[in-house]
Amino acid sequence: MNFQFSNEQEALREQLQRLLKDGPARCRAVMAAGDSHDRALWKSCVELGLTAAAIPEADGGLGLGVMELCVIAEEVGRALAPVPIASSALYATEIIRRHGGEAAALWLPRLAAGEAIATVALTEGTGSWDAVPSAVVVDGKLSGSKLPVSDPHADVAIVSARSEEDGRGYGLWLAPLDHRSVVRRSVVAVDRIRRHAVVEFAATPVVRIGKQGEGANLVDGMMDSAAILTAFEQLGGAEAALLMARDYALQRKAFGKPIGANQAVKHKLADMYARIELARGHCYYGAWALDVGSAELPRAAAGARLAATDAFVFAAEEAIQLHGGIGFTWESDCSLYLRRSRLLAQMVGSRRRWTSRLVNALVAV
């Protein structure tokens, strides 16, 4: 069993690092402009093929594997890239590809070419994708609201909703967000870079994804996949926070010597590194399980999710502590990473949800 990335995957990483450099500066520019994302960077991502990464070649994509997607997620997290790669190219595209049916033939080529952006609209205030929805579909028309929806400027969303045909379960549906019956109201999130909104549907025409009543099963599988990709995004962010803290500790002087010379500071950096490396092991295990379709996927996904969340939040908090007061300011990159760590900690389900998932997976062995 080999957990190392191939030469081709490392070459992809280097390309991404060159493309996504100066991420925090790009984030500030997007916030200052009040825009949804960095459109110039998004165009470059499309040209590099990031939007086509998870899409089969037959549908205009590149047909890359799980490991390549993990590399993309990690570098997006490292740079805080202000583009909807995670929502569209990593999360939504996967479920459309696997279960979209006729809708996949319509949307996948557009998503691959960067002509459209997709997102997921599964939560109704709980923060967990697998909560039973109150939104309903009657005669192919969706009514209800979703909150919070990440990257609400998208063209199409995967929405969970109940219908008479689903019995006691619920289904997944593709909803066009540019339809006149859809209202999007922005909400303020802890992370000002990744936009969120309340999305309200009023008899919006939708198309079913998958079979009747299997929405819960589809979401369950999608959450495992998303948890691993999010864990890699958190891993990249945690490493960036560690390097910021290390560089500042070597640069900042007190009483004539770098603060990094103090043993207490060294211990903090060592603690950050240890948690990150623990998370890395879990992330690699999760990537392997997802890649081969292992029966160990549920516990691997939960382990990666919990370890990466802990590593990113801890690293971001400690980076601010080492920077002192300046770390809390908008001018400091530390504050941007702390906000992202808090946001990702709540996406794809809370710590309690994934702890329960891990316990159940271990008990079932």
Confidence of residue 102 (pLDDT cuts 50, 70, 90): confident
Domain containing 230 — which CATH number? 1.20.140.10
| pLDDT, tens digit, 9 for 90 and up, residues 181-199 | 999 999 999 999 999 999 9
| pLDDT, tens digit, 9 for 90 and up, residues 108-135 | 999 999 999 999 999 988 767 888 899 9
In terms of domains, do 105 and 237 share one? Answer: no
CB 278 within 8 A of CB 268: no
Q: In the prediction, which pLDDT does 282 show?
A: 98
In terms of domains, do 198 and 244 share one? Answer: no
Q: Which uninterrupted H or E stretch holds 174?
A: strand 171-176
| pLDDT, tens digit, 9 for 90 and up, residues 255-266 | 999 999 999 999
In terms of domains, do 246 and 354 share one? Answer: yes
The two structure tokens encoding residue 104: 């996949």
Q: How far apart are CA 353 and CA 160, in angstroms?
A: 19
Cα dihedral 246, 79, 126, 283 in deg (nearest 10): -70
Number of domains in the chain: 3
Q: In the prediction, which pLDDT does 1 show?
A: 59
Q: How far apart are CA 159 and CA 172, in angstroms?
A: 6
Q: In the prediction, which pLDDT does 132 show?
A: 85
Q: Write out the residue range of the structural domain in which residue 321 sits.
A: 216-363
Residue 325 lies in a domain: yes
- pLDDT top residue among 349 and 281: 281
Entry pTM = 0.95
Domain boundary among 116, 151, 168: 116
Bridge partner residues of 138 (DSSP): 141
Handedness of CA 36, 41, 46, 52 (dihedral sign): negative
In terms of domains, do 243 and 303 share one? Answer: yes
DSSP 133-165: P--EEETTEEEEEEEEEESTT-SEEEEEEEEGG
In terms of domains, do 165 and 193 share one? Answer: yes
The interaxial angle of helices 66-79 and 7-19, nearest 10 deg, is 30
